[in-house]
Amino acid sequence: MAEQQQPIYVISDSTRTSGRDAQRNNILAAKIVAETVRTTLGPKGMDKMLVDSLGDIIVTNDGVTILEELSVEHPAAKMIVEVAKTQESEVGDGTTTAVVFAGELLKRAESLLDKNVHPTSIVRGYRLAAEEAQKILKKLGRSVSADDTALLKNIALTAMTGKGAEVAKEHLSSLVVDAVRLIGVHSSTLEDVSIEKKSGASIHDTELIKGLLLDKERVHSGMPLSVKNAKIALLDIALEVRSPETDAKIQITDPSQFQSFLDMEERMFKDMVDSVVSSGANVVLCQKGIDDLAQHYLAKKGIYACRRVKKSDMEKLAKATHGTIITNLKELSKEDLGAAGFIEEISVGDDKMTMVKDCVNPKAVTLLVRGGTHHVIEEVERALHDAVGDLCSAIKYGKVVAGAGSCEVELAKQLRTYAHSLQGREQLAVLSFADSLEIIPTTLAENAGLDPIDTLTELKAAHERGEVSAGLDVFTGKVVDAWAQSIIEPLQIKVQAVQSASEVAEMILRIDDVLAAKKPKASSVPDVNDM
């Protein structure tokens, strides 16, 4: 045997980092992600142009879009991207705020680590601070009702200021307010306001459709192009004899049998169409297929029909038209029909679409975005999406706060007071948490080309004087009363941002070892034997 000793590898260490190295690497990665989106924060934030490997571009100011499109490699960076995604799904806005705050929490934690504060002390301090912050936020929130249209409009305006939608923000914010108020106070969810795009015309021509725009054309050219006072049958049934799932075999031994088979098929289609007609429907929107022969009979009866409508659209149609989705044609009755003032087939570029509009009291509506070019429309869509999200969450939770950095400065101030009730290292961590919140006004100032230190000092002085909603007017560079200036955001943006940012910061701080894990199994379906 050779004398020489072979090193023993217990754990593959090609990608292993541990201890302070792991912490530093993770913090660095998180900071880089936060740094990337930081310049887009606020009305004076800049845009990013993302170019993919095929050369397609996206020009955007929207935090979550940037992060979703970025190809992020580092695991800790991916955790930060998750913060943006959570913010997006929970509130629909405030993604940059959440990520920038998370980055700053980690940056400040690093300074504490340098001072030999143990990570667990920092984590505990951050936890205490986050809990206290939620209590303070609750007190800072002011009530809003769904009928306060002026206030709601200001929330929409705040969300859209400085975005692609800026040029038409008055018009767009009224549309968003109308849309959210239409779908109703309690059920307000982002998904009930669909946003569709159609290039051409200008942003000012963006409209609110009390109904839906379906990506479907009528199935037969003999059908009417439009229907007034539509009575809509919403069908989740195939108007076909043989559904593609069942493969039937019919043995025919002589020609007359074949003829009777065809006759029977014809009769079945006629029966189907008769059930539709006798219910009083003049429009059929079908989630499944419609056979050629059925199309023919429907057209003969002057019925407008679309097939293979998406399931999600069917559900929205039911909400918009107050119809019931039917799974058995025999059950179709007058009461199940949805109603729309007008249905027509429209051409959008090369495609044909079906517009279902003028529904009475619709619980699902559509914003049809218009604009010069594809890239402009996409960015307007994102701004509208943020505004809709803000309004939904303002109405759902009934609370709003003043923006422009005022909320963060006030929160920091009250957290510092709270910190004095603590001792030792936790106190240091709570103070760092408070300092981290101030990254929001600081960044707003920086992005507006203002001196961040002067601005922050002025803001803090105003809050010391008891001006709770003193914020930064990024257009004049002055400290103003953000509430009086109608810069208003839903409280939930802040609640969610503080929560997810502190959670991810704590999680990253607890990591002291980054190891390569086994490759996931090829099949994602768990094997019974593994359970």
Residues involved in catalysis: 62, 95-96, 386
Nearest to 163 by CA among 311, 383, 393, 11: 383
Provide the token pair at 155: 């929330």
Q: Which amino acid would we find at residue 481?
A: D
Q: Quote the least distance from Cβ 32 to ligand ADP, whole Å.
A: 18
Q: What is the DSSP string of 384-439?
A: HHHHHHHHHHHHHH-EEEETTTHHHHHHHHHHHHHHTTS-HHHHHHHHHHHHHHTH
Question: What is the smallest separation between the CB atom of 407 and Mg ion, expressed in angstroms?
Answer: 14
Question: Whole-number minimum distance, CB 173 to ligand ADP, in Å?
Answer: 12
Contact of residue 284 among Mg ion, ligand ADP, none (CB under 5-8 Å per partner type): none
Selection from Mg ion, ligand ADP, none that 444 binds (CB < 5 to 8 A by kind) is ligand ADP
Max alpha carbon distance in the chain (Å)?
98
Are the CB atoms for 135 and 171 separated by under 8 Å? no
500 binds, among ligand ADP, Mg ion, none (CB under 5 to 8 A by kind): none
The minimum distance between CB 298 and ligand ADP, in angstroms, equals: 48
Q: Which does 211 bind (CB under 5 to 8 A by kind): ligand ADP, Mg ion, none?
A: none
Upper half-sphere CA count for residue 263 (Cβ side, 13 Å): 6
- Of these partners, Mg ion, ligand ADP, none, which one is at the site of residue 378 (CB under 5 to 8 Å by kind)? none
- Whichever of 92 and 211 has its CB closer to ligand ADP, that residue is 92
Choice between 281 and 448, CB closer to ligand ADP: 448
Residues that bind Mg ion in the complex, under the rule CB under 5 A: 93, 386
**Smallest separation (angstroms) from Mg ion to the CB of 94:** 6
Check if the beta carbon of residue 304 is closer than 8 Å to that of residue 282: yes
C-beta of 142 vs 301, nearer to ligand ADP = 142
Q: How far is the CB of 444 from ligand ADP (least distance, A)?
A: 5
Question: Which residue is closest to Mg ion by CB?
Answer: 93
Q: Which CB, 22 or 488, lies closer to ligand ADP?
A: 488
Q: Which does 487 bind (CB under 5 to 8 A by kind): Mg ion, ligand ADP, none?
A: ligand ADP
Q: With CB cut-offs between 5 and 8 Å by kind, which of Mg ion, ligand ADP, none does residue 43 bind?
A: ligand ADP
**How does DSSP classify residue 456?**
H
Q: Which residues pair with 351 in a beta bridge?
A: 348
The pair of three-digit structure tokens given for residue 110, joined into one six-digit string? 């690093």
CB 322 within 8 A of CB 338: yes
Cα 403 from Cα 142, distance rounded (Å): 12
In the bound complex, what is the minimum distance in angstroms from residue 404's beta carbon to ligand ADP?
4
CA atoms of 123 and 327, how far apart (whole Å):
54
80 contact partners, CB below 8 Å, separation of at least 6: 29, 30, 33, 34, 67, 99, 102, 103, 504
> What gap in Å lies between CA 134 and CA 144, rounded to an integer?
19
Q: Smallest distance, Å, CB 160 to ligand ADP?
A: 9
Give the Cα separation of 246 and 243 in Å (integer).
6
Distance, first Cα to last Cα, the chain: 45
Query: CB-wise, 386 or 435, nearer to Mg ion?
Result: 386
3-state DSSP call for residue 126?
helix
Between 386 and 446, CB nearer to Mg ion: 386
Shortest Cβ contact with ligand ADP: which residue? 403
Q: Which is nearer to ligand ADP, 240 or 381 (CB)?
A: 381
Residues interacting with ligand ADP, by CB under 6 A? 40-43, 45, 63, 93-97, 158, 161, 403-405, 440, 444, 472-474, 487, 489
Share of the chain residues as helix, strand and coil, in percent rounded to the nearest 5: 50, 15, 35
Which one of ligand ADP, Mg ion, none interacts with residue 97, CB within 5 to 8 A by kind?
A: ligand ADP
For ligand ADP, the closer CB: 319 or 382: 382
